[in-house]
Amino acid sequence: MRIKFSKYHGAGNDFIMIDNREDDRRIWNALTPETIQVMCERHFGIGADGVILAVKSNDPDTPYSMGYFNADGTPAEMCGNGLRCLVRFLDHLGEPVREMDQFNILTGAGPIKCRIIPDQTIQVEMPVPSFDPRDAKIDADYDAIPMTITVPGIPDELYGTPVGVGNPHFVLYNNEMWEGDLIHELGSRIAIYEDIFPEGVNVGFARKEAPDTIALVVWERGVGPTLACGSGAIAAVGAGVAQDKFPFDEKIAVRMPGGTVFVTIHDGWSKAVMEGDAVHVFDGEFDTEEQ
């Protein structure tokens, strides 16, 4: 089966976008985990951090939905940068999203409010950070934020914050810049440490650079280190607000290797908003029979 696709990125977090507005089951069936792995492979495939399907709905409250798969073929609840790319993709497909004041996209984490604001930046109202163990999807008792964990193969205790943002995150703040080898060592072990994170976890390495700026690198489960992570940006700012590093209602710049997004956590944890761009890269076709 030949599948048409478009490549988009949000702050360097790149995705293979597939127009499945008619919810064609042949497309869903063709996207096996093995096919997705080949598509996302950067040397022999298209290359991407994940695959996103755009689907239309008859529900006026949620006119669109998002199917999201990590680069290893596993489905995931949602992706903040991917949502921005999906909004831009829907706009380029001719959907009237630019004319809507606001619209919902249904994800595995529930409906997400989105809109294109006047400067053409895309604004996404993300799930509010939660520190409930069930939302962070951890299998451990803790009563403090942050918490200390011990991971096999890592000699030192790790001091971080579990955060649920529709998907699970573990955010570690450090006064020094995290180095690549250390990120690889810690991220690869924490992300799959099933004794505490039975469903895996996205690991955020954060550093407060200024009163309104964070430097962040995220090791995404099923992907590895990415140039950017939208839900990771929300989790990092949320963990910072919970630790009094940042105030409510202030726009925080989250500087990631691929670019910067802006996050605001509103007073009383009432909502979490992310702003940033999404860019079309190229279009093509992928033959699932010629893997």
Task: Tell me whether residue 79 is one of the annotated catalytic residues.
Answer: yes
Task: Tell me whether residue 114 is one of the annotated catalytic residues.
Answer: no
* Architecture of the domain spanning 2-128+278-290: Roll (3.10)
> Residues 148-177: what's their mean pLDDT?
88
Give the helix/strand (H/E) hosting 104.
strand 103-107
Q: What is the pLDDT of residue 133?
A: 84
- CA 4 vs. chain centroid, Å, equals 23
pLDDT(176) > 90 = no
pLDDT(164) > 80 = yes
Q: What percent of the chain has pLDDT over 90?
A: 76
Q: What is the pLDDT of residue 177?
A: 64
Task: Write out the two tokens for 42.
Answer: 């950067």
257, 204, 276, 259: which is closest to 233 by C-alpha? Answer: 204
- DSSP notation for 39-90: HH-TTTS---SEEEEEEE-S-TTS-EEEEEEETTS-B-S--HHHHHHHHHHH
Task: Write out the two tokens for 259.
Answer: 């670019």
Q: Of the listed 40, 85, 114, 229, which one is catalytic?
A: 229
Render pLDDT for 238-275 as a digit per residue (tens, 0 to 9).
Answer: 999 999 999 999 999 999 999 999 999 999 999 999 99
Which residue has better confidence, 103 or 183?
103
Q: How many CB atoms lie within 10 A of CB 150?
A: 12
Q: How many CB atoms lie within 10 A of CB 216?
A: 24
pLDDT range class, residue 142, cuts 50, 70, 90: low
Q: What percent of the chain has pLDDT over 70?
A: 97
Question: What phi and psi values does residue 40 have, to the nearest 5 degrees?
Answer: -85, -15
pLDDT range class, residue 9, cuts 50, 70, 90: very high
Domain with CATH 3.10.310.10 in the chain: 2-128+278-290, 133-270
Q: What is the pLDDT of residue 210?
A: 96
Q: What is the pLDDT of residue 65?
A: 97
Beta strands in 150-198 (DSSP E): 158-164, 168-173
Render pLDDT for 99-141 as a digit per residue (tens, 0 to 9).
Answer: 999 999 999 989 999 999 988 899 999 999 999 888 888 887 7
Among 148-152, 174-178, 280-284, the range scoring the smallest mean pLDDT is: 174-178
Q: At the topology level of CATH, where does 133-270 sit?
A: Diaminopimelate Epimerase; Chain A, domain 1 (3.10.310)
Residue environment code for 65-101, b if the CB has 16+ CB neighbours within 10 A, otherwise e: bbbbbbbebbebbbbbbbbbbbbbbbbbeebebeeee
Task: Write out the two tokens for 167.
Answer: 């998907």
Q: What is the pLDDT of residue 77?
A: 86
Q: What is the pLDDT of residue 17?
A: 98
Q: What is the pLDDT of residue 214?
A: 96
